[in-house]
Each structure stands twice: as C-alpha cells, then as structure tokens.
Copies of this chain bind each other. A is one copy, B any other.
Amino acid sequence: MTVRVGVIGTGMIGQDHIRRITQVLTGGTVTAVNDVDAARAGQVAAGLPGTTVHATAADLIADDGVDAVLVASWGPAHEEQVLGAIAAGKPVFCEKPLAPSSDACVRIMEAEMEAGRRLVQVGFMRRYDAGYRAMKATLDDGALGLPLLMHCAHRNPSVPDYGFTTELIVSDSAVHEMDIVRWLFGEEIVAVTVLKPRRSREAGADLQDPLILVFEMASGALVDDELFLNARYGYDVRGEVVCETGTVALADMSEVTVRTGNRHSGRIPVDWRDRFILAYDAELQEWLNAAAAGTSTGPSTWDGYAAAAVTDAGLEALRTGQRTAVSMAERPEFYAKAQ
C-alpha cells in the first residue's frame, strides 16, 4: 500500500520532507499540501502532478485522499493540526517541538489516549542517526556498566544576527539533546542548570553564545551540554557517555583522510542536513511504514511532552541562573512501551 500523505507547511523543512517522500523513500506519495502562504503551497504543488492544494489545514486533514498527515508548519499551529489528525484517526508526523507549551502536549496526549492507539510521531530524528544508534546499542549491551555522565556538544556554524535569541538556544537547539539523553539513558531529566561561558564576539550582540546546560537524570547521572550556535568551523554534534568501566563517543565520520600541507585531515559537516540527512530519511521511512498499518511508532507524544517540560525548566534556569527542577506529570501506562 502506498501511503497518501498530506503535508501542512511547505517551507524549507516541509519541502525537504516532500522531496524525501517523492524521490528517496518508498511507500509514500504526496497527495495534498497546505500552507499559510497559499502562493507557496501552490508553487510546491505545481511540481507534484496530482497534488491538491487545500485552503486550510482542516480541509487537508479531512481530505479522503489523505491517509496520513505531516505537520511542518510553525510551532504555534502544531497543537490544533495534530489534534485534528487524531480526531480524523489519521497517523501524523509532527516536527519538533510537538507544541510550544507542555500543557498543549498534555491535551494531545489525552486525545491520543482517547483514540486508543499511537497516532503521533514527533520529529526527533537523532534517534535514527547511525552514531546515536550505535551508542545506544553499546550502552544497552551493558558491557561498560551503568552510564554515569555524558558530555555533549552541539555546534552550529552560525545563526542569523536578528531574531535568534538566547532562549531559542534552549528551546530549539538543546531540545535535541533533551530528547536524545532521555532515550539513551532510558530515564527522565529531573533538573536543569544553565551556565554562561565567556561570550563569543562572533555572536550577535544580544546572544549569550555559547551556553552550557547541565541536565540531571532521575538516576543521578549528569549531562553537560555545550550549545554553541556560532562555532563557525562547522556543524559538529559530539557526545561521550561515561560508564563505570568505559566510555562510548560519537566518532568523526569523514569519508576520506587527506594528507597535505603538513596536516592529515577529515571533513566536518557543513550543516544539519549534511550531518543528519540519513537520519531524516530513516525517521520518515519508519513513519510511512507504520502509517501504512494505521499507526505511528518512534518518538511519541510523551516524548514531545517530556521535551516541552524540560524546555520549560531550562528557560527558567536561564532566567534565574538557578538549578531548576523539571515539573512533569506521571507517565501514563499508555506510553509505557513507547521509546
């Protein structure tokens, strides 16, 4: 069965997912699109024969020619669109963050539980990266003992001088580590502290860049996470988990080693697409496979909620300079087997 996908939001990320479904993955086709910018939606649809342009997200969700919904609109619109898909009983892939507030995430959880089956996959694509997968396999294998702490770094070459705020470093960038450490350690984050290193002169005037976030896990394990959005030299995501008898770290993945000018060197990715393209492919293929069976797997609404709750604590910790406990509901039985 080919899953007929309706795509809400046809900006950069939406277009990238459309390319993926139509040119890379198997088992899916894009039959409908919608965007707040109708002209943009029309242009995108022009390149996709047989694709309907809908005036509203609700129309798209209601379309009988749409089996599953991909939400790539801006964050504030997510809640309504995801709830709409759930109400229609259609599997929905929602880009992160699931919703801007943890309350909104709770409402989505309630709707999904009422629907009685997993319908939502949240776009935490790092879980599909070969590096993080190998890291988790090594941890789960148990040969290194229990994980005690983790060092993370999340370096971006640059962000726009305007519009990118220190809060966004927490809510938009660090959210990836919030999810991945929960998944790697198999437990929740219970507190967050934010440290402010010396500011880079490469960063915009209002931006505290870099930042260090410290996550405390339920077990007591600590994670320090360097966020550096104007690292200039490349897109570099690093991680090392320190266990009782050894460590496991993401490796540099350059395809070739060049020896010239008294250096041996390898390539560092230029951007997130370069670094994680295979992970994006894999997450969406998994979604298409599950959608063909009328459900969703992968990162769940609970995972979206947990990330939102940790983000709330992180933003408060940024404001106050204090260690801030994460306020989180109890995990419903319904989501017990997710991950």
Report A's interface with B, CB cutoff 8 A. 22-27, 130-131, 133-135, 138, 143-149, 151, 153, 195-202, 210, 212, 214, 217, 219-222, 224, 226, 228, 231-234, 236, 242, 244-270, 278, 285
The answer to whether residues A256 and B134 also contact, given A210-B148, A212-B149, A233-B262 and a CB cut-off of 8 A, is yes
Q: What B residues does A217 contact at CB under 8 A? A: 198
For this chain, the copies found in one complex come to 4
Q: Are B222 and A255 touching (Cβ within 8 A)? A: no
B263 near A267 (CB under 8 angstroms)? yes
When chains A and B are docked, how far (Å) is the Cα of A251 from the Cα of B264? 11
Q: Is the CB of B202 within 8 A of A145?
A: yes
User: Contacts A26-B25, A246-B260 hold; do A195 and B214 have CB atoms under 8 A apart?
Assistant: yes
Contact of A198 among B24, B27, B143, B148 (CB under 8 A): B148
Measured in the bound complex, the distance between the Cα atoms of B219 and A197 in whole Å is 9
8 nearest interchain CB pairs? A246-B260, A265-B265, A198-B220, A134-B255, A197-B222, A149-B197, A263-B265, A198-B221
Determine whether the beta carbon of A247 is less than 8 Å from that of B226.
no
Which residues of chain B are near A135, meaning CB under 8 Å? 255-256
A259 lies within 8 A of B232 (CB) = no
Is A256 in contact with B265, judged by CB distance below 8 angstroms? Answer: no
Contact A246 B258 (CB under 8 A): yes
Alpha-carbon separation in the docked complex, A145 to B234 (Å)? 15
23 A-B pairs with CB atoms under 8 Å apart are A131-B255, A133-B255, A145-B200, A146-B198, A146-B201, A147-B198, A148-B198, A149-B198, A149-B212, A198-B221, A228-B242, A232-B246, A233-B245, A234-B262, A247-B258, A248-B256, A248-B257, A248-B259, A249-B257, A249-B258, A251-B254, A251-B255, A262-B268
Q: How far is the CA of A144 from the CA of B24 in the complex (A)?
A: 34
Tell me which residues across on chain B come within 8 A of A200, comparing CB atoms.
Answer: 145-146, 148, 244
Residue among B130, B151, B222, B234 making CB contact with A151, cutoff 8 Å: B151
Q: For the complex formed, measure the closest distance between the CB of A102 and the CB atoms of chain B, giving whole angstroms.
A: 26
Residues of B within 8 A of A25 (CB): 26
Q: Are A258 and B248 in contact (CB under 8 A)?
A: yes
